[in-house]
């Protein structure tokens, strides 16, 4: 099956930003979307809006740092629609700070959500996709997976790891499509997780030029709509003329 129409697509971190935009775009193109996040009130509103527009959507509370949560989320998608064609591992946090600030709890949060959350998504979806003999894993990384900035070392490390992990997964499974989508500066709530006042001010300046989340959603849709024998391994999407 090629295209997007009728595909069952599970999206983590779907309550805002790129995840929300991807849900709207993929549903608009005929996918059955299953949405997970911790903020269930937002998910329920999003499902209602997609359904009112003629789309097909379901939602479930999800904490990607808990493997059992992700397994239950994926099982829910399969139970609702009979299969799982695509998982979009999108959930992420970005509390930036200099390493010398020793904000270890924030380091651990980035590792748990940005990296462990992706691993949990793979662990939950892979058995289903192997049994089906097909499937697609889309991991949302970042241009921060291609370079490093001061005060972003841990965040960049998690995104470098997502890219490496995705390439390893692709090489290990010849009937599985694996895509990394690496956005540049994108309009979202991601920067709000930064608690360091100085870095927050720098981020506000850094993020003056940004693309809307639906630009990244279209990149995700592009990867999904390819035929089964075409794997778009990575898409980097950033503001035109951006140096970052």
Tell me the C-alpha distance between 154 and 156, whole Å: 5
> What is the pLDDT, as a whole number, of residue 139?
98
Tens of pLDDT, residues 23-35: 999 999 999 999 9
**Residue 243 pLDDT exceeds 80:** no
Residue 11 to residue 140: CA distance in whole angstroms: 11
Indicate the average pLDDT of the chain. Answer: 93
Give the Cα separation of 213 and 25 in Å (integer). Answer: 10
- Confidence bin at 194 (pLDDT 50/70/90): confident
Instruction: For 105-117, write each residue's pLDDT tens digit.
Output: 999 999 999 999 9
The stretch 64-75 carries a mean pLDDT of: 98
CA angle, 222 then 189 then 18, to 5° = 10
The domains located in the chain, with CATH, are 8-237 (3.40.50.720)
pLDDT band at residue 193, thresholds of 50, 70 and 90?
confident
81 is catalytic: no
Q: For the beta carbon of residue 133, count every other beta carbon within 10 angstroms.
A: 8
pTM to 2 decimal places = 0.94
Q: Which of 155, 203, 216, 221 is catalytic?
A: 155
Mean pLDDT computed over 85-90? 98
How many residues does the structure list for the chain?
244
What DSSP line would sit under 45-94, residue for residue?
HHHHHHHHTT-EEEEEE--TT-HHHHHHHHHHHHHHHS---EEEE-----
The per-residue pLDDT for 1 is 46
- At 189, is the pLDDT very low, low, confident or very high (cuts 50, 70, 90)? low
163 phi, psi to nearest 5 deg: -65, -45
């Amino acid at each position: 099956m090629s295209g997007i129409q009728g595909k069952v697509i599970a999206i983590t971190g779907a309550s805002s930003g790129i995840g929300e935009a991807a849900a709207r775009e993929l549903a608009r193109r005929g996918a059955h979307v299953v949405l997970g996040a911790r903020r269930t009130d937002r998910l329920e509103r999003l499902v209602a809006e997609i359904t009112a527009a003629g789309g097909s959507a379901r939602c479930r509370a999800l904490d990607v740092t808990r493997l059992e949560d992700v397994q239950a989320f994926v099982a829910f998608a399969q139970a609702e629609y009979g299969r799982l064609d695509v998982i979009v591992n999108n959930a992420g946090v970005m509390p930036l700070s200099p390493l010398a600030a020793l904000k270890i709890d924030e380091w651990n949060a980035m590792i748990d959500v940005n990296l462990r959350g992706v691993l949990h998504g793979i662990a939950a979806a892979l058995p289903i996709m192997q049994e089906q003999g097909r499937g697609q894993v889309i991991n949302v990384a970042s241009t921060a997976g291609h370079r490093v900035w001061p005060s972003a070392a841990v965040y960049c490390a998690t995104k470098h790891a997502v890219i490496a992990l995705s390439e390893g997964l692709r090489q290990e499974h010849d009937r599985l499509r694996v895509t990394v989508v690496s956005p540049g500066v994108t309009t979202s709530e991601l920067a709000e997780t930064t608690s360091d006042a100085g870095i927050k001010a720098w981020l506000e300046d850094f993020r003056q030029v940004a693309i809307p989340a639906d630009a990244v959603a279209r990149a995700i849709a592009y990867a999904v709509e390819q035929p089964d024998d075409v794997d778009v391994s990575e898409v980097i999407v950033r503001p035109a003329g951006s140096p970052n």
